[in-house]
Amino acid sequence: MVNEFSAGGRQSPRRLFVFSLAIAYFATATLDTFLSLLLVDIASTFQATLGATSQIRTFSSFTAVLVALSMGILSVRFKHKSLIIVGVLCMLFSGLGCFFAPSLNWMYLFYSLQGIASVIVFPMALTLIGDIIPLEKRANTVSILLAVAPLSIFIVIPLTGAIAGSLGWRYVPLLFAVPVSVVGLFFAHFGVPSISPERTVAINKETYLRRFKQVLSNTSAKACLVGNIFRTSTYVAIELFAISFYIQRFLVTIDLGVGIMMGGSLLFTLGTLAAGHLSNQFGRRRVTVLTSFMAGVFVMSLFQMPTFGIALPFDYLAIFFSGIAFSAATSLTLEQVPKARSTMMSLNTAVIALGMALVPIIGGALLDLFSYEAMGLTLGAMGIVAAFVFYFLSKDQAETQSANKIQPI
């Protein structure tokens, strides 16, 4: 398996492998902005309140957490390629289901398949990168994969608006999510290797428990999991509340809000791509600590600004540093427990989903009880907490491996 994708003369298989993972991951992101842009239309169709309709995302997030936790077991039992194909199939059924959904309750069910797809494809794609791509190329490969989701917004937003405007919201999942999922299935089948390293050992109850124990008994691994909850919460604060802040405080129009979102997506993408080079140059842990801290500071500052012209630069700086932190922290987490990598990344996906589910609850409560300022200070401070957790408790295992290789015997 490793020889086919190793460096030296056989670059085409590796490029096809990474491209195939990117297409599968892109398929799971096709409905990411679906609810944000079309929530009012969906609520109108089902004659439901915006509050009830918005719980589609909450239901999907908590379902994703449960499935992500179970992936720690499933990833040991089944081939990673098979799980990626199942994940893309979930996305296909989500698109079809959202088109045919007869009621809001059915929308809860079918949209949750999108969340399930992402927590299956994302950790398995990262696990395969960790198992197949050489260490010196791993951080850059992770950065390329993680850039897919934010970059997809440049495609998703215009197509969502065009399809919904001419045919209605139901045709967005049918004409966009479904075809992309079919393409993703094709590339997952032909471009992803079917060999899973963990299949070479006997699979039993002790195997599952041993994988979890290897992760949960490792202080650095646990620090990465906890740090990623706080780091994710800081970024979601921008994603979820920044546009509303601009609209309510500075009377920004919806069209300008969409433009701001697209600009932010570009900066997040640039951040994730830059993280690969920075991580190789300065180390995954150092980059994670610094950029998590900076993202937290800028989020705290953003919601205190008195004018739109001052707030927007803080917003974009927070997004850029969040993009770097996302990629660097993912690379750092990927190297923590190599012998239980799939379990580690599945748990990591679970905690990220948990962080995404908690932010609307915490942030919404702070907004209702206090203000944008209080919400920004609290959620921004989580980025600073993440930086301290990574700094004091995590270790860069990749640096340790590299140091061990050059030590004389």
Divide the 409 residues of the chain into consecutive groups of 10 and give the mean pLDDT of each group.
42 75 89 77 84 79 84 80 93 94 93 91 90 87 86 79 86 92 93 64 60 89 95 88 86 82 89 92 95 97 94 96 95 90 88 82 84 92 96 82 47
- pLDDT at residue 358, as a whole number: 81
Residues 290, 292: Cα–Cα separation, whole Å: 6
- pLDDT at residue 204, as a whole number: 53
Residues 14 and 44 grouped into a single domain: yes
Residues 40 and 121 grouped into a single domain: yes
Residues spanned by the domain of 329: 211-396
Residues 286, 229: Cα–Cα separation, whole Å: 18
Residues 240 and 172 grouped into a single domain: no
The model's pTM? 0.81
Residues 261, 265: Cα–Cα separation, whole Å: 6
Residues 269 and 345 grouped into a single domain: yes
DSSP 304: T
| Residue in the block written with tokens 């197509």 | 159
Residues 279 and 235 grouped into a single domain: yes
Residues 358 and 388 grouped into a single domain: yes
Residues 188 and 247 grouped into a single domain: no
Looking at the domain assignment, is residue 261 inside a domain?
yes
Looking at the domain assignment, is residue 54 inside a domain?
yes
Residues 65, 97: Cα–Cα separation, whole Å: 21
Nearest CA to 142 among 329, 341, 5, 343?
A: 329
Sign (positive/negative) of CA torsion 271, 272, 273, 274?
positive
Looking at the domain assignment, is residue 296 inside a domain?
yes
Residues 177 and 273 grouped into a single domain: no
CA 263 to chain centre: 19
Helix 372-393 × helix 341-369 angle, to 10°:
150
- pLDDT at residue 200, as a whole number: 43
Q: Which of 161, 192, 223 lies at the terminal end of a domain, its last residue?
A: 192
- pLDDT at residue 395, as a whole number: 92
- pLDDT at residue 297, as a whole number: 97
- pLDDT at residue 3, as a whole number: 41
- pLDDT at residue 156, as a whole number: 81
Contact yes or no for 121/28 (Cβ under 8 A): yes
Looking at the domain assignment, is residue 402 inside a domain?
no
Looking at the domain assignment, is residue 203 inside a domain?
no
Sign (positive/negative) of CA torsion 262, 359, 345, 187?
negative
